[in-house]
């Protein structure tokens, strides 16, 4: 077999065999196939697409390029959730302890933020002492002892995906549904959870800009997971405006703490109840979504979810006093409001621009190894549909450098669309797949 023939076959729109896909993935992971051939192949896949069978083969080949954890020895059900990436998405911080507090273990490996979209590991690192790097033995021990663990994805899980993803990032080949689906699912399968809920974000602040694309991605990922013997469901959720109010690492941890203590924005709470209930329904722990939401609402109100959150964070070395006193999280030196340039109703907020402005402030990274500033970010005071007076604060900027503050302010000037009559805000949730889990 030759790499060049496999590239040409895909370039000509033909279906690759399982053996050809395995040859290509192994060859690239082991360094026999160079970057330029892998880049040409990714572009051919982006332009020509892949069948569901090819995508499943690609996923399994990438998952098997490294270690595949088997968590069935820990419990029959170990749950995971994965967001396809958004702005202000602190769902894992709330959902993981919420679900674990209801008695089903949650074992999750998470990523860092890249570009305008944030990452759970960066958020958790804003808690002093929290250890994100765990060995597989430590990951499994904590899961057994506490029923909850969230660590950084280890380098030996799906290493082929790590190589392909870095290449795709610089060859304009990220935006391919089969490549995204196989990238996400190879890591999920390798991390060992038996039940996985995919939180597929749709809209301006997400990879998937339309509901149709999000649905296609979700259905493909569910089929791949099932082929690998996992139970998988998906929520299609709005990302036209940030989730909640806070965007930025410590600010988002603070917001998650508020939700876990029964406060915080209603959209975050509602989304977390849905994602968590779907996780419990997947594991057969509740009869349906409604029963799951009711159970989890009780876990929030009774303080059980908060208790599990404190147990989890402190088990991984995080400072308990910071959880009780979130004002001790990293704090920004410069705090300034952004006044509304006019009166009216907010018709749209460009979530991508909000995400980019938070990166400019230092909350995210443009390049993989950029350092981040945990204290900085944005807190929105107005969301779509809200009435605004001229000069009223649309948001507050948290910064540590005056030049970055000025650059973010400039970027945010065009992030808004206005209406003179009240527009209806977008729904938080579009769809649950499979639909029978929604009833």
Q: Which residues bind ligand URA (CB under 6 A)?
A: 85, 165, 174, 179-180, 183-184
Is residue 161 flagged as an active site residue?
Answer: yes
3-state SS, residue 311: helix
H/E stretch holding 352: helix 351-361
- Catalytic residue, chosen from 112, 187, 188, 231, is 187
Is residue 183 flagged as an active site residue?
Answer: yes
By C-alpha distance, which of 378, 385, 380, 392 is closest to 418? 385
Closest to ligand URA by CB, 174 vs 334, is 174
Minimum CB–partner distance for residue 193 and ligand URA (Å): 15
Q: What are the structure tokens assigned to 345, written together?
A: 């109703």
CB atoms within 10 A of CB 247: 34
Is residue 421 flagged as an active site residue?
Answer: no
Closest to ligand URA by CB, 159 vs 264, is 159
Minimum CB–partner distance for residue 398 and ligand URA (Å): 27
Question: What is the torsional sign of CA 379, 381, 386, 390?
Answer: negative
CB 343 within 8 A of CB 390: yes
Minimum CB–partner distance for residue 179 and ligand URA (Å): 6
CB 248 within 8 A of CB 376: yes
Is residue 154 flagged as an active site residue?
Answer: no
Minimum CB–partner distance for residue 169 and ligand URA (Å): 9
- Catalytic residue, chosen from 64, 82, 374, 404, is 82
Q: What are the structure tokens assigned to 281, written together?
A: 């329904």
- Catalytic residue, chosen from 83, 183, 186, 358, is 183
Cβ-closest position to ligand URA: 183
CA distance 219 to 284: 21
CB 127 within 8 A of CB 109: no
Minimum CB–partner distance for residue 47 and ligand URA (Å): 16
- Catalytic residue, chosen from 57, 80, 89, 161, is 161
Closest to ligand URA by CB, 37 vs 183, is 183
DSSP sequence for 184-208? HHHHHHHHT-SEEEEEEEESTTSSB
Closest to ligand URA by CB, 184 vs 246, is 184
Closest to ligand URA by CB, 165 vs 312, is 165
Q: What are the structure tokens assigned to 38, written together?
A: 């892998």
CA distance 67 to 209: 33
Closest to ligand URA by CB, 146 vs 365, is 365
By C-alpha distance, which of 330, 338, 317 is closest to 372? 330
Minimum CB–partner distance for residue 180 and ligand URA (Å): 4
Is residue 168 flagged as an active site residue?
Answer: yes
Q: 155 vs 99, 133, 203, CA distance in Å? A: 27, 10, 31
Catalytic residues: 82, 161, 168, 183, 187
């Amino acid at each position: 077999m030759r790499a060049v023939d496999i590239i040409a076959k895909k370039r000509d729109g033909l279906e690759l065999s399982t053996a050809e896909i395995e040859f290509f993935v192994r060859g690239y992971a082991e360094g026999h196939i160079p970057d330029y051939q892998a880049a040409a192949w990714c572009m051919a896949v982006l332009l020509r697409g892949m069948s569901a069978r090819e995508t499943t083969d690609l996923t399994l080949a990438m998952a098997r390029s490294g270690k595949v954890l088997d968590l069935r020895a820990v419990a029959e059900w170990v749950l995971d959730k994965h967001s396809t990436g958004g702005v202000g998405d602190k769902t894992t911080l709330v959902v993981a302890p919420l679900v674990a507090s209801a008695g089903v273990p949650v074992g999750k490996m998470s990523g860092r933020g890249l570009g305008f979209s944030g990452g759970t590991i960066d958020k958790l690192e804003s808690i002093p002492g929290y250890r994100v790097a765990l060995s597989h033995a430590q990951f499994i021990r904590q899961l057994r002892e506490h029923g909850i663990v969230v660590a950084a994805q280890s380098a030996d899980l799906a290493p082929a995906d790590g190589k392909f993803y870095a290449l795709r990032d610089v060859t304009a080949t990220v935006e391919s549904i089969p490549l995204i689906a196989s990238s996400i699912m190879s890591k999920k399968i390798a991390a060992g959870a038996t039940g996985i809920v995919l939180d597929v974000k749709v809209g301006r602040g997400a990879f998937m800009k339309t509901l149709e694309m999000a649905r296609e991605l979700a259905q493909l990922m569910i089929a791949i997971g099932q082929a690998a013997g996992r139970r998988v469901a998906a929520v299609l959720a709005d990302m036209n405006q940030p989730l909640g109010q806070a965007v930025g690492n410590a600010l988002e941890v603070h917001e998650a703490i508020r939700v876990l203590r029964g406060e915080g924005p209603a959209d975050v709470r509602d989304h977390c109840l849905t994602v968590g209930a779907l996780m419990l329904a997947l594991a057969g722990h509740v009869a349906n979504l409604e029963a799951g939401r009711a159970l989890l609402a009780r876990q929030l109100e009774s303080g059980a979810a908060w208790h599990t959150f404190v147990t989890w964070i402190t088990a991984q070395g995080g400072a308990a006093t910071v959880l009780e006193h979130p004002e001790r999280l990293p704090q920004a030196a410069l705090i300034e409001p952004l006044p509304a340039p006019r009166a009216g109703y907010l018709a749209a907020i460009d979530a991508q621009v909000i995400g980019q402005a938070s990166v400019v402030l230092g909350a995210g990274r443009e390049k993989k190894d950029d350092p981040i500033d945990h204290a900085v970010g944005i807190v929105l005071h107005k969301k779509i549909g809200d009435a605004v007076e001229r000069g009223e604060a649309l948001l507050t900027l948290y910064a540590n450098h005056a030049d970055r503050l000025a650059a973010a302010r400039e970027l945010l000037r065009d992030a808004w669309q206005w209406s003179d009559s009240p527009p209806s805000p977008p729904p938080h949730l579009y769809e649950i797949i499979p639909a029978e889990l929604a009833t």
